[in-house]
Structure 1
Amino acid sequence: MTTLTFDSLNPATGEIVGSHPKHTPDAVHEVVGRAEEAARWWAAIGPDERKRRLLDYKAIITQNLKDLARLVHEETGKPVGDATLEIVLAITHLDWAARNAYKVLRRRRVSTGMIGLNLAATLEYLPLGVVGVIGPWNYPAFTPMGSIAYALAAGNAVVFKPSEFTPGTGVRLAELFAVAVPEQPVFQTVTGLGETGAALAGDPRVKKVAFTGSTATAKRVMAACAENLTPIVAECGGKDAFIVDADADLAKAADACLWGAMSNAGQTCAGVERVYVVEEVYESFMRELSDRVTKVKAGENYGPITMPGQVDIIKRHIDDAAKSGKVVAGGPGSVRAPYVDPVIVEDVPEDSPAVREETFGPTITVRRTRDAQEALELANASAYGLGGTVFSRNARRAMQLARAMRTGMTAINSVISFAGVPALPFGGVGDSGFGRIHGADGLREFTRPKAISRQRFAMPGMNLTSFARGPAELERLIRLVTFLHGRRKR
């Protein structure tokens, strides 16, 4: 029987990078079956062996870094340097997950309190089994590794469905893992279109799905998962805000803002899309930003728009913003598919698509505010809540603003820096999704808590969980609870 295939294309040139099979639901079913058996083996070898093998995998990826970066470059069109940075970040997260999994997930004793004085209690986090990962095309190595590495370190097997725009990267990641762990197919990749991802999400043997992509697609994946009550961690889109306070270092703020908005052609879920600048430094900041943007070139500093359909969305947002706001850089003529030149528009109404919807292109809207509080209120007036940025020299004020941002992560005097800290959880609120990858929370995301209580001795005169319990025992319980909890705090 002939296997249907599809091609991955270099978005900059249209050349074929590779051909890959369209895995049918039956093929996905077989892969998940192999993963089930592999998951039992992977869990049984224990945390020390898993750590050793994951560190081997890390070394193998590092040894193949240049080739992998070249593949990411070919499939996404992003510069090789950016692809290299992406893989380096993936390596650091893999290292952290491998080294910290046992400490985070191991069995430990917990306090039982006075009522449970005769008990011993333990808590541990056990593997789920098979985890399905559905990855994006914009960061085809780093983003899925934020789920894959942590799921593997937690003792699960992984079946990965990469984006149809970047399947080769997903296939290569699994091939390199098989070099480190040849005994069992602990990490497998399936390739294909939407049907393949739906089959993975809908398989009842998949115990959790980690999805990264658009909010609309997340809802469809959740619907497939709902059939089997399969839990999902969803990292969706963003419309991240960048706040410039009155005392900010404007040169550094402008530099960070521009990179956060334009790097990877703006195709970053936690990239900068909205900028709010306090009135008294607005003109100075705009001069810094305007001077710098002239030096940023599509096709040189960043690559093409990877997904052809996104060009229409970007163009619609630019056209609408240009009609209602003031164009500072670029404009409707900036769209020259597959590239989009940098676009900066100020004074765009807050209810316009360019401000409300995720653009996912090298564009930003800029607005002046009377103070940082108004900037914060505007930043939070969004259905999305993934990341954000605050620039201020006042450490206390910056921390207050960062904590008050309705986002999963905020960077202070830097941009997207939280993604490079493996110990920090990554995820959003609202339309940006739920659940967390990275850090201790990311490890626990791919486990099930297991609580055990053990009676060490019988409590004299306090056999409360028995039909033989008498009034005297109940009275003793009331006296004890009153002593422990009956005094009001003044």
Structure 2
Amino acid sequence: MDAMTTATFDSLSPLDGTVVRTFPVHDADDVATSVARARRAARDWRSLGFAGRRRALAAWRRDIVAHLDDLIAVVRAETGKPAGDARLEIMLALDHLAWAASHARRVLRWRAVFPGPLMLNQSASLGYVPYGVIGVIGPWNYPVFTPMGSLAYALAAGNAVVFKPSEYTPAVGTWLRDSFVRAGGPAGVFEVVTGLGATGAALCRAGVDKVAFTGSTATGKAVMAACAESLTPVVIEAGGKDALLVDEDADLDAAAEAAVWGAYSNAGQTCIGIERVYAHTRVYDRFVEKVAERTAELRAGVDDAARLGPMTMPRQGDVVRAHVADALAHGGTLRVGTAPGGGSTLQPVLLVGVGEESTAVREETFGPTLVVNRVASMEEAVDRANAVRYGLSGSVFSRRRGRELAARLRGGMVAINSVIAFAAVPALPFGGVGDSGFGRIHGADGLREFAYARAITRQRFPLLTLTTMRRTPGVDRIVERIIRALYG
């Protein structure tokens, strides 16, 4: 297929602008060929059963570990993130791969269901059937961990996958496929197509049975529109504008450390990262000082000692610059850092006192910025946190009211006295509401997302027959007595 494709594109390293590798731009025919190959392979993959797939996925996991340094180097080359951050991302991905493979049978196997008093003559069972072929469209910010939440769970559920990695990280996507095959994975079960937006659109229209997308809200809407043409179901994991709430009884050192990690790790390019903090007025000044001290210790760069790397997608720097400018125009103050200049290596910025109507407060920035605003109460903090169109995740630091406040935040995931912890727990579902998308990856919900429920009944012995055109008035009188006895 690649030999027939004439158009190509380069994957450029944000570290130095060099070409990591050149990839084909797969068109609609190329994508259709990959989907057809995956569909043929899906039959044998499903026939392996849960035990066979678990062995195959365990072999894949061991291969990733055996070539860990190589994968770290590829991730760093394409994203610019520090090697330590790449290693952490891969570790979490491996944990999810292990969990999906080992729990698929328990979650998806056939099981008996009580038929109820009206249908005692029927046996009832429920099972989950793999869709067949899943299209996965992945992001560039966590090119191993995030798509693994779809790839591992879809494969464990018995599907084949066709993966379209981001055009910024195609080398990572093909590395994962090559590792799967190197570990003995059946050819065709894990296909990769590379290209730009048109390739992703072609995947949506190529006859896959479901699409799992991670990326921006705007692109997620385009994916939904393309899939709607054929009623192809979708899982959408889109952006966020996550908030951290700091109560007056919070451990301020821990909260400050969490805020800085949540805001600036991966150069702020994290959908579940912290972009806003609402701190109680009684601790606000002390909290800001602690965050400022930690922020000032950070430095972005392309060298190995830098704690923050460059922006993976160069034009994202324009969004960061626009949001900082708007924050300053809406009354904000630069507590640490300066208004970012040109280029893609942006130093961390801490803003305070920003008006709530600013884009820096309401829209996803996806860069190394943090807004810390003062609130008079935690009720005000909750209201402000929920006042945006996103609903992905959030965090609460409070010794006494953590669970209460967490329950009031709008979103699919909340961490109490930590940040982002839920993403590292494979048993927990991951996803949002509103402009953050719908559907879930990870956990039992994530496994079921890649299989559809099938219900089966079997008559064990004849009883009162109600579904017949020869039903008599006497039977209707019996039905009435049953209604009154059971439900009156």
TM-score, normalising length: structure 2: 0.97
* In structure 2, C-alpha distance between the alignment counterparts of 1:285 and 1:304, rounded to whole Å: 27
Kindly provide the CA deviation profile for residues 111-141 of structure 1, in whole angstroms up to 9, marking residues without a partner as x: 1111111111000000100000000000000
Equivalent residues in 2 for 1:351-430, closer than 5 Å: 351-394=357-400, 397-430=401-434
Amino acid across the alignment from 2:394? G
Equivalent residues in 2 for 1:36-55, closer than 5 Å: 36-55=39-58
Equivalent residues in 2 for 1:434-473, closer than 5 Å: 434-459=438-463, 462-473=464-475
* In structure 1, C-alpha distance between the alignment counterparts of 2:486 and 2:231, rounded to whole Å: 41
Runs of 5+ unmatched residues, structure 2: none
* In structure 1, C-alpha distance between the alignment counterparts of 2:259 and 2:186, rounded to whole Å: 47
Tell me by how many angstroms 1:424 deviates: 0.4
Amino acid across the alignment from 1:133? V
Which one is further off, 152-161 or 6-15?
6-15
Q: Secondary structure at the match of 1:338?
A: coil
Kindly provide the CA deviation profile for residues 133-174 of structure 1, in whole angstroms up to 9, marking residues without a partner as x: 000000000000000000000000000000000000000000
State the Cα RMSD in Å.
1.0
Kindly provide the CA deviation profile for residues 339-370 of structure 1, in whole angstroms up to 9, marking residues without a partner as x: 11111111111111101110000101111111
- What number of residue pairs does the alignment pair up? 480
Name the residue aligned to 1:304: 310
Q: Among residues 266, 269, 273, which one is paired with 1:267 in the alignment?
A: 269
* In structure 1, C-alpha distance between the alignment counterparts of 2:220 and 2:186, rounded to whole Å: 34
- Identity percentage over the alignment? 56
Tell me by how many angstroms 1:105 deviates: 0.1
- Equivalent pair of 1:17/1:75 in contact (CA under 8 Å): yes
Q: Secondary structure at the match of 2:453?
A: strand
Tell me by how many angstroms 1:480 deviates: 1.6
* In structure 2, C-alpha distance between the alignment counterparts of 1:66 and 1:399, rounded to whole Å: 40
* In structure 2, C-alpha distance between the alignment counterparts of 1:199 and 1:354, rounded to whole Å: 34
Kindly provide the CA deviation profile for residues 31-66 of structure 1, in whole angstroms up to 9, marking residues without a partner as x: 111001011111112111011111111111111111
* In structure 2, C-alpha distance between the alignment counterparts of 1:2 and 1:34, rounded to whole Å: 17
* In structure 2, C-alpha distance between the alignment counterparts of 1:179 and 1:102, rounded to whole Å: 25
Which one is further off, 408-417 or 320-329?
320-329
Name the residue aligned to 1:248: 250
Q: Secondary structure at the match of 1:92?
A: helix
Name the residue aligned to 2:333: 326
Q: Among residues 197, 213, 220, which one is paired with 2:222 in the alignment?
A: 220
Kindly provide the CA deviation profile for residues 251-310 of structure 1, in whole angstroms up to 9, marking residues without a partner as x: 000000000000000000000001100111111111111111110111211100110111
Tell me by how many angstroms 1:476 deviates: 1.6
Q: Among residues 56, 62, 67, which one is paired with 1:64 in the alignment?
A: 67
* In structure 1, C-alpha distance between the alignment counterparts of 2:186 and 2:438, rounded to whole Å: 34
Kindly provide the CA deviation profile for residues 43-95 of structure 1, in whole angstroms up to 9, marking residues without a partner as x: 11211101111111111111111110110000000000000100111000000
Amino acid across the alignment from 1:275? V
Equivalent residues in 2 for 1:129-148, closer than 5 Å: 129-148=132-151
Amino acid across the alignment from 2:407? R
Name the residue aligned to 2:187: 184
Amino acid across the alignment from 1:387? S
Amino acid across the alignment from 1:419? A
Name the residue aligned to 1:277: 279
* In structure 2, C-alpha distance between the alignment counterparts of 1:449 and 1:245, rounded to whole Å: 43
* In structure 1, C-alpha distance between the alignment counterparts of 2:185 and 2:139, rounded to whole Å: 27
Equivalent residues in 2 for 1:224-239, closer than 5 Å: 224-239=226-241
Q: Secondary structure at the match of 1:335?
A: coil
Q: Among residues 120, 123, 127, which one is paired with 2:126 in the alignment?
A: 123
- Equivalent pair of 1:384/1:430 in contact (CA under 8 Å): yes
- Equivalent pair of 1:244/1:277 in contact (CA under 8 Å): yes
Amino acid across the alignment from 2:447? L
Tell me by how many angstroms 1:414 deviates: 0.7
Name the residue aligned to 1:83: 86
- Equivalent pair of 2:134/2:211 in contact (CA under 8 Å): yes
Equivalent residues in 2 for 1:15-34, closer than 5 Å: 15-34=18-37
Sort the Cα spacing of 1:223 and 1:2 in 2 relative to 1 into closer, same or farther, 3 A: closer
Name the residue aligned to 2:200: 197
Tell me by how many angstroms 1:2 deviates: 6.1
- Equivalent pair of 1:137/1:163 in contact (CA under 8 Å): yes
- Equivalent pair of 2:5/2:24 in contact (CA under 8 Å): no
- Equivalent pair of 1:254/1:288 in contact (CA under 8 Å): yes
Q: Among residues 96, 115, 128, which one is paired with 2:99 in the alignment?
A: 96
Name the residue aligned to 2:356: 350
- Equivalent pair of 2:56/2:185 in contact (CA under 8 Å): no
Runs of 5+ unmatched residues, structure 1: none
Tell me by how many angstroms 1:335 deviates: 3.4
